[in-house]
Amino acid sequence: MIKLNIKNETSRLRAVILGTAKSNGPIPAVEDCYDPKSVEHVLSDTYPKEADMIAEMDAVLEVFKKYDVKVYRPEVIENCNQIFSRDIAFVIEDKIIRANILPDREEEVEAIQYICDQIDVNNRIILPEDCHVEGGDVMPWNDYIFIGTYSGEDYPDLITARTNMDAVIAIQELFPEKTVKSFELRKSNTNAKENALHLDCCFQPIGKGKAIIHKNGFLVEKEYQWLVDFFGKDNVFEITKDEMYQMNSNVFSISKDVIISEKNFTRLNTWLRSEGFTVEEVPYAEISKQEGLLRCTTMPLIRD
């Protein structure tokens, strides 16, 4: 049996699900894309190639091996994009919560069923159907759970709005002892630089009491300010609009001291090292073309 344990984003990682780029399927039609960045690359003929994405994910796998992390992979479904394992489920404490994802992605959940079967059935949670949520919007942070959401009236028209207030309320009810803090995110179906697809696309806490943040990803300035005050201005690394577009906040912590980051994030990686972090650099620029990066492709199961 797998005994789940996730209290935050940075405690020492022991077990994780890493997505797969194998049999990723053909280049999607524009109307089948789920986000504006993918559309951009389909239209400009720069959509990532399967072989390149497999190589990028293999680089992350090597880092996990180096730190002796147990890695699970989804079963490969032919012609199905299974890269973003964080979208389909997430763990808080000892519970795995299945995401109510876009209907087209049900198959991806089946591909990790063999892992779920090793988890106590009482700790497998499926939220009510009207609760929309994806793991990229949900961040356990000790006594808090941070959740990205969107409550505008145009929610049904925005394919980039993935987590609603019904899910925020349901998660608060599941974990009454925690403080659930929700943040309204900026959404756009057409402009990737004005779109925070998930909370981890514009914010992420890292070890040593630090955080990475992009102000424009937040619709409500006082919610952004709450996070800056919570971590302390000197502990927050502010990223630019272009750095958000390149997914600089979407790194992944193996521990409080070790972070996997994209090798082209020069400014961020230099700052991380100056703050005493070990930075494991990997190539992930092809995967980022689908508006997701390191946190999106990993779903932690056990941390210390």
Q: Which two tokens stand for residue 184?
A: 């309204």
**pLDDT at position 157, please?**
64
Handedness of CA 204, 287, 98, 2 (dihedral sign): negative
**pLDDT at position 25, please?**
82
Domain coordinates of the chain in residue numbers? Answer: 13-303
Question: What average pLDDT does range 229-253 have in this prediction?
Answer: 96
Between 300 and 110, the more confident residue is 300
- State yes or no: pLDDT of 33 exceeds 80: no
CB atoms within 10 A of CB 97: 22
The model's pLDDT over 72-121, given as tens digits with 9 standing for 90+, comes to: 999 999 998 899 999 889 999 999 999 876 666 778 888 999 999 999 99
Of 58, 59, 32, 65, nearest to 47 by C-alpha is 32
- State yes or no: pLDDT of 196 exceeds 90: no
- Give the least confident one: 95-109, 193-207, 264-278: 95-109
- State yes or no: pLDDT of 156 exceeds 90: no
Could you please state the CATH topology (level 3) that the domain comprising 13-303 is classified under.
L-arginine/glycine Amidinotransferase; Chain A (3.75.10)
Strands (E), 99-156: 124-126, 138-141, 144-149
CA 243/CA 266 separation, integer angstroms: 10
**pLDDT at position 17, please?**
98
CA 252/CA 258 separation, integer angstroms: 9
CA 209/CA 164 separation, integer angstroms: 28
Chain centroid, CA 283 distance in Å: 17
Between 69 and 159, the more confident residue is 69
**pLDDT at position 39, please?**
80
Between 237 and 45, the more confident residue is 237
Between 164 and 17, the more confident residue is 17
pTM reported for the whole predicted model = 0.94
- State yes or no: pLDDT of 154 exceeds 80: no
Assess contact for 261 and 283: CB atoms under 8 A. Answer: no
Q: At CB < 8 A and 24+ separation, what contacts does 155-161 make? A: 157/189, 158/187, 158/189, 159/34, 159/35, 159/102, 159/189, 160/34, 160/35, 160/36, 160/187, 160/188, 160/189, 160/195, 160/197, 161/187
**pLDDT at position 40, please?**
82
Between 154 and 128, the more confident residue is 128
Question: What average pLDDT does range 198-204 have in this prediction?
Answer: 95
